[in-house]
């Protein structure tokens, strides 16, 4: 038995939810380029859960369900009031999502219908949790979700207390479409492993949030913005990038385990970064990002992934930096729950082997003789 580090290239499951083949990403067979240009996030949620694009009636039904489920149980809001002000936003989300289960009478009901209802509640309440904590830590009161608003509109409304501009809501909606699912990425795999023991969907999504937090995965978008700020201006890019590479340090937002000729999502986020920057009259972060991309690709052949340009998109939308990864979680909740529902449908506990490389043939020696 020989281990493959990081399970690189190992096919660990079958799925119909999304595919990455020859650099092309599809959700249920629909190319991400097609969906990014045409679909709303709610349409994508329906597609990932039910395997088909919704009719108008089905879409209206889902939006109504999500909207009606967006309020968070008061005791969970109260718990967040006791969290430390500077707690890590993904630790807050992981803890708050986990506590949602305590107030859901169906938490351990494993029927397909109950699991779908819980998927709706998780998808609807995660944005509310993030916006609520962002306001609580500023000493402000949480804002309740607005009736009839989409997830993207409501998140910006609950965060800022004002109606978002249509162009802002549309940009966030598109970012949510682009981050919704991605085959067997680390956080989705963590969720599937968890529920494959027949543990509940709240446990599965909590596991997934814990995995997404890491800077090698969802945490990279916040790290990219930290890098842009550390570099400060375009003149410093060359020295910064070359010294990072010389020290064999990772440049956040670049590289990918699966894509070797570029992440198809990056071009959409790059265009959004340009359009939003132009609209706001501030192309600094966009222009710096383009220059960094050119240098890193030239020096190392590494291409930007989904996290690289999302950093300047979210910054231009005025979103606090430590909420970038929680926004990733809002979107990926749709993929996580789709994969979890799929795992339950045809389950077998996920239990790989390990190649033992430790010592052997050891004999016990009484403690007085050690
Ligand atoms: C996401 O899996 C998914 O689908 C994830 C995701 C999704 O939608 O769910 O796409 C979202 O997580 C995107 C990735 C976000 N992470 C980052 O941007 C962090 C920086 N990237 C790297 O840590 C890395 O590229 C990974 C984690 C993305 C991939 O890691 P791998 O496949 O284990 O690659 P590796 O670390 O083994 O690197 C291979 C080589 C190494 O060089 P050598 O030692 O062989 O000479 O490429 C180099 C690495 O040093 N390399 C980098 C680099 N990424 C790889 N060098 C500098 N900067 C980088 N970013």
Distance CA 73, CA 120 (A): 15
Which residues have any ligand 1 atom within 6 Å of their CB? 6, 182, 185, 216-218, 220, 250-257, 300, 302, 305-307
- On whether both 302 and 163 belong to a single domain, the answer is no
Indicate if 132 and 36 belong to the same structural domain. Answer: yes
DSSP secondary structure of 128-167: HHHHHHHHHTTT----PPPTT--HHHHHHHHHHSSPPPHH
Q: Identify whether residues 154 and 293 lie together within a single domain.
A: no
Q: Are residues 332 and 272 in the same domain?
A: no
Query: Could you tell me if 110 and 198 are in contact, meaning their C-beta atoms sit under 8 angstroms apart?
Result: yes
Residue labelled with tokens 């390990």? 354
* Ligand 1 centre distance from Cα of residue 301 (Å): 12
Spatial distance between the Cα atoms of 81 and 133, rounded to a whole number of angstroms: 8
Residue 304 resides in a domain:
yes
Q: Based on the domain organization, do 202 and 134 belong to the same domain?
A: yes
Here the tokens at position 293 are: 């991309």
Say whether 307 is catalytic. Answer: yes
Nearest ligand 1 atom to alpha carbon 255 = 25
Per-residue pLDDT at 283: 98
125 within domain boundaries:
yes
131 within some domain: yes
Q: Are 142 and 201 in the same domain?
A: yes
Tell me, in angstroms, the distance from the centre of ligand 1 to residue 255's CA: 4
pLDDT in tens, the chain (370 residues): 899 999 999 999 999 999 999 999 999 999 999 999 999 999 999 999 999 999 999 999 999 999 999 999 999 999 999 999 889 999 999 999 999 999 999 999 999 999 999 999 999 999 999 999 999 999 999 999 999 999 999 999 999 999 999 999 999 999 999 999 999 999 999 999 999 999 999 999 999 999 999 999 999 999 999 999 999 999 999 999 999 999 999 999 999 999 989 999 999 999 999 999 999 999 999 999 999 999 999 999 999 999 999 999 999 999 999 999 999 999 999 999 999 999 999 999 999 999 999 999 999 999 999 9
Residue 361 lies in a domain: no
Query: Is 333 in the same domain as 301?
Result: no
* Residue closest by Cα to atom 37 of ligand 1: 257
- Active site annotation includes 74: no
Do 74 and 127 reside in the same domain of the chain? yes
Task: Provide the CATH number for the domain around residue 253.
Answer: 1.10.230.10
Residue 369 is assigned to a structural domain of this protein: no
Are residues 229 and 333 both part of a single domain? Answer: no
Q: How confident is the model at residue 85, as a pLDDT?
A: 84
Say yes or no: 177 and 302 in one domain. no
Domain of residue 171: give its range: 17-214+323-345
What is the helix (H) or strand (E) element at residue 18, kind and residue range? Answer: strand 18-21
- State the Cα angle at 187 between 78 and 339, rounded to 5°: 95
Pairing verdict, β 18-21 and 30-31: unpaired
Alpha-carbon distance of 96 to 101, in angstroms, equals 9
The verdict on residue 357 lying in a domain is: no
351 in a structural domain: no
pTM of the model: 0.98
Q: Are residues 174 and 258 in the same domain?
A: no
CATH of the domain at 333: 1.10.580.10
In total, how many domains does the chain have? 2
Could you say which of 181, 307, 322, 339 is catalytic?
307
The residue from 179, 182, 256, 268 that is catalytic is 256
The answer on 140 and 22 residing in a single domain is yes
CA-proximal residue: ligand 1, atom 49 (nearest): 250
Domain assignment present for 362: no
């Amino acid at each position: 038995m020989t281990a493959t580090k990081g399970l690189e290239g190992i096919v660990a499951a079958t799925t119909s939810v999304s595919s990455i083949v020859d650099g092309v990403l599809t959700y249920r067979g629909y190319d991400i380029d097609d969906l990014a240009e045409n679909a709303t996030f709610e349409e994508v949620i329906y597609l990932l859960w039910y395997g088909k694009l919704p009719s108008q009636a089905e879409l209206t039904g889902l939006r109504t369900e999500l909207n009606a489920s967006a309020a968070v149980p008061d005791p969970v809001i109260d718990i967040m009031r006791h969290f430390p002000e500077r707690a890590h936003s993904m630790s807050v989300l992981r803890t708050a999502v986990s506590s949602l289960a305590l107030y859901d009478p169906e938490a351990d009901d494993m029927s397909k219908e109950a699991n779908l209802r819980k998927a709706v509640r998780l998808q609807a309440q995660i944005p509310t949790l993030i916006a609520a904590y962002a306001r609580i830590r500023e000493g402000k009161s949480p804002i309740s979700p607005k009736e009839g608003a989409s997830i993207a509109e409501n998140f910006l409304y609950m965060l800022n207390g004002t109606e978002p501009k249509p162009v802002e809501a549309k940009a966030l909606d598109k970012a949510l479409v682009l981050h919704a699912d991605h085959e067997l990425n680390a956080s989705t795999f963590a969720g599937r492993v968890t529920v494959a023991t027949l543990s509940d969907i709240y446990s599965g999504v909590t596991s997934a949030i814990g995995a997404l937090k890491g800077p090698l995965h969802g945490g990279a978008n916040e790290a990219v913005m930290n890098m842009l700020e550390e570099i400060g201006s375009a003149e410093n890019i060359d020295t910064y990038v070359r010294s990072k590479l010389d020290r064999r340090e990772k440049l956040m937002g670049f590289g990918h385990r699966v894509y070797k000729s570029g992440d198809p999502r990056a071009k959409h986020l790059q265009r959004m970064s340009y359009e939003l920057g132009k609209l706001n009259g501030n192309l600094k972060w966009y222009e710096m990002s383009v220059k960094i991309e050119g240098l890193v690709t030239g020096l190392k052949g590494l291409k930007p992934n989904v996290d690289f340009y999302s950093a300047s998109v979210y910054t231009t939308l005025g979103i606090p930096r430590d909420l970038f990864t929680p926004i990733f979680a809002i979107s990926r909740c749709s993929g996580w729950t789709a994969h979890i529902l799929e795992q339950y449908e045809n389950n077998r506990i996920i239990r790989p082997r390990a190649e033992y490389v430790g010592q052997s043939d050891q004999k016990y020696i009484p403690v007085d003789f050690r």
